[in-house]
Amino acid sequence: MTSHYPNLLKPLDLGFTQLKNRVVMGSMHTGLEDRFYNYGKLAAYFAERARGGTGLLITGGISPNRQGWLLPFGGTMSHYGDVINHRRVTSAVHQEGGKILMQILHAGRYGYHPFAVSASNIKSPISMFKPRAMKESEIIKTIRDYGRCAKLAKLSNYDGVEIMGSEGYLLNQFICSRTNKRNDQWGGSLENRMRLPLEIVRKVRKEVGKNFIIAYRLSLIDLVDGGNTWDEIVTIAKALESAGITLLNTGIGWHEARIPTIVTSVPRAAFREVTKRIKHELSIPVMASNRINMPEDGESIVASGDADLISMARPLLADAHFVNKAAAGKAEEINTCIACNQGCLDQTFSMKRSTCLVNPQACFETELVYVKTNRPKKIAVVGGGMAGLSCATVAAERGHDVTLFEGSDDIGGQFTMAMNVPGKEEFRETVRYFRNQVKKTGVKLQLNQKVNTADLNKAGFDEIVIATGVAPRTPKIPGIDHPKVLSYPDVLRHGAKVGHKVAVIGAGGIGIDVSEFLLAEHSPQPLENWLDEWGVDLSVSEAGGLRPPKREQPLRQIWLLQRKHGKKMGQGPGKTTGWVHRLALQHHQVKMMGGVEYLKVDDLGLHIRVGDEEQVLDVDNVILCAGQESVRDLLPTDSEGKITDKRFHVIGGAKMAGEVDAKRAIKEGAELAATL
Ligand code: NAP
Ligand code: SF4
């Protein structure tokens, strides 16, 4: 037994099989599982995580039939022909000493296609397709389809299956009266509503025999009206145990819930309490999940007996070698998931392949490969923000002699501001990770070094990478140099004093960050305050675990402004996170205004025109969050902006300021470094 994280890393004996530790890579849709020609990439992706020490892996959701598709032509296991693709995955994982379950997911009314079915024909607020209510004969056929799917999974050499029964998918739709209005034997009483999942578990067990893992992911807190009460959840969990499941996994919240469950502002391990409560009701092992992203959190949960296993999906996307690093006592080398969703879920919901903002190799294991160089070069990277750090550390890891010049006294660039925003504390982990990578890979870091082109030329570098990032844009508004006006770095980096009434010019990601910074009392927000703000009752005494929120009076009065009409504020930050920011700002009574024309700033405040009406916002400060401009003065270019010296390269915000985000910056840095 290792001395580091002894509880998290100790084996778990399931009787017929053993897991080498308590770390489970939870199911996550990557997009690779939907196309047969991507199974080689999927195999490499899982093999990397098995090699990295993960005890148990779970695939993204695979449908048992066409009605259950999440997306048109989504991954399905319904024919013997499907076995061939899946065997590529299982054999790759087994070769690395790992174990893997296939998740069976029937999307029900979350299916983004016209064949979607559900318990009743009630449309979900997050899908454009209204489902058809299943006929009884279809329910019986669906049970058979689950059985066949599990049998084929066994034939594909999976170590088990996970039946997805949470997050608002089909089985959750049957279990909850919110979506089940049937009056036959599959609806009405709890006994009837839970009949389908129980029949499925029994059928699957019959098809796969005793020595095969069946995990069931049960929603322990639905976070929607018409969800289940705690007593109902306990009854279902016990019935599932009796029906023959091996493990129970924690599901938190339906996808349509308007309460965040995984974004970065959700406190770490926020839901461990509900897992703990179910654990004490059952004798089978129980898995905790949601916002657990570092080994110390997992260790504390297992050590205290709140759960037997820790499910982490995104953290293992971010770092495939999470477990090996933890076991070696090198947790500081873990590339921590910052729960931003930008590289993973936002991609999935845009029908693109998942990857990871902090790890561009994720899901691209066979395409973005860092090969050791046999021709080491002398490389300069100018700028210690995300693009420069990514480029410098990958180039050095490949064996190049890399010098990283940074004009300020620390690395991190824009992240050093983002990490000061309450709810974004996780961004510190990325700066910590790169600090270690710089040391580990031998990058020569030169802080407080404002180099010029002549210095770079003199030093005889073979390659010069300009990663000088962006500077805040100063809009041309009369009175812009009035003392009331501050830039966002003044506020987020330099701690400028800000009054009680504030106008924020620009409602992009940074305008929202600044508003949240000015409204928060604590960083990080204590769990109790977070539960109060969002109205979450972890005792689930009322259906769904909802209760009336308790909110303090806002610390400041804020106007968040943009020139555009119509467009929702905060759309920049991403599909899966924008709504959380918008709701949080509403909780704090922020006045969001679009279609604004800025007239001037003077002692009275900010003068604006909206439509035909002029008004003065009587504010103490005006904070500029009006986007960015590239800093690229070191780049030798001709009159058309083309680079004139072949040794020079440009990446990140310096290349293009518009839409720059850390995902693009880190990816561009790594991709360039892989080719130098
Ligand atoms: P942004 O998202 O492009 O927003 C810039 C804002 O400034 C817009 O609201 C724009 O709206 C306004 N603006 C632009 N030019 C202006 C002008 N001349 N005068 C007045 N207003 C002007 O940029 P950002 O907020 O600076 O963010 C930079 C990048 O970092 C973005 O790509 C963003 O996605 C990323 N980021 C992401 C997060 C996150 O949570 N994921 C957080 C922070 C930053 P109008 O033109 O309508 O006025
Ligand atoms: Fe985590 Fe963001 Fe990477 Fe997704 S993209 S795994 S949320 S760091």
Based on the number of CB atoms within 10 Å of its own CB, is 191 exposed (0-12), middle (13-18) or buried (19 or more)?
Answer: exposed
Pocket residue to mutate for ligand 1, from 265, 512, 562, 666, most atoms within 8 A of Cβ: 562
CA distance 377 to 75: 44
CA distance 392 to 439: 11
Residue type, 498: V
- Nearest ligand (C-alpha, residue 320): 2
- Chain centre distance of CA 500: 33
Give me the pLDDT at residue 1, please.
47
Span 602-620, mean pLDDT? 97
The mean of the pLDDT values for the chain is: 95
3-class DSSP state of 479: coil
pLDDT at 429: 97
pLDDT in tens, 161-203: 999 999 999 999 999 999 999 999 999 999 999 999 999 999 9
Q: How far is the CA of 508 from the centre of ligand 1 (A)?
A: 4
Nearest ligand by distance to the CA of 580: 1
Q: How far is the CA of 578 from the centre of ligand 2 (A)?
A: 15
Beta strand 605-610 pairing with 596-602? antiparallel
Per-residue model confidence (pLDDT) at position 567: 61
Q: Scan for tokens 């209760």, then name that residue.
A: 547
Which tens digits make up the pLDDT trace of 292-343? Answer: 999 999 999 999 999 999 999 999 999 999 999 999 999 999 999 999 999 9
The per-residue pLDDT for 572 is 59
Could you tell me if residue 412 is left (phi over 0), alpha (psi between -120 and 50 degrees) or otherwise beta?
left
The percentage of the chain sitting over the pLDDT mark of 70, rounded to a whole number, equals 98
Order of all β-strands in the sheet with 591-593: 485-487, 621-624, 501-505, 557-561, 591-593
CA of 111 to the centre of ligand 2 (A): 24
Ligand 2: does its nearest atom lie under 6 Å from the Cβ of 339?
yes
Q: Is the CB of 334 under 6 A from ligand 2?
A: no
Q: What is the C-alpha separation between 407 and 405, in angstroms, rounded? A: 7
Residue with CA at minimum distance from ligand 2 atom 1: 337
Is residue 68 within 8 Å of 108, Cβ to Cβ?
Answer: yes
Q: Is the CB of 653 under 6 A from ligand 1?
A: no
**Is the model's pLDDT at 637 over the cut of 60?**
yes
Nearest CA owner, ligand 1 atom 38: 509
Query: In whole angstroms, what is the distance from residue 556 CA to residue 165 CA?
Result: 43
Cα radius of gyration (the chain): 26
Look up residue 61 and give its two tokens: 């959701």
Structural domains of the chain ordered from first start:
12-349 (3.20.20.70), 378-471+629-675 (3.40.50.720), 485-520+555-626 (3.50.50.60)
In the 8-state DSSP scheme, what is residue 552? P
Closest CA to 309 of 115, 426, 162: 162
The closest of 87, 81, 82 to 157, measured between CA atoms, is 87
Q: Does residue 653 have a pLDDT over 80?
A: yes
* CB-facing half-sphere around the CA of 641: CA atoms within 13 A: 6
**Helix (H), strand (E), coil (C) string for 543-600:** HHHECCCCCCCCCCEEEEECCCCCCCCCCCCCCCCHHHHHHHHHHCCCEEECCEEEEE
User: What positions carry a catalytic annotation?
Assistant: 169
Q: Is 224 in the pocket of ligand 2 (CB under 6 A)?
A: no
Q: Is the CB of 342 under 6 A from ligand 2?
A: yes
Number of helices (H) and strands (E) in the chain: give both, helices first. 21, 27
pLDDT digits (tens, 9 = 90+) for 534-561: 999 999 999 999 999 999 899 999 999 9
**Contact 363/447 with Cβ under 8 angstroms?**
no
Nearest C-alpha neighbor of 315 from the set 337, 334, 333 = 337
Give the chain's length. Answer: 676
Q: What is the DSSP letter of 466?
A: E
Does the beta carbon of 419 lie inside 6 Å of ligand 1? Answer: no
Can you tell me which atom of ligand 1 is nearest the CA of 598? 20
Q: Is the CB of 312 under 6 A from ligand 2?
A: no
Closest ligand 2 atom to residue 336 Cα is 8
Planar angle of CA 619, 620, 624, nearest 5 degrees? 80
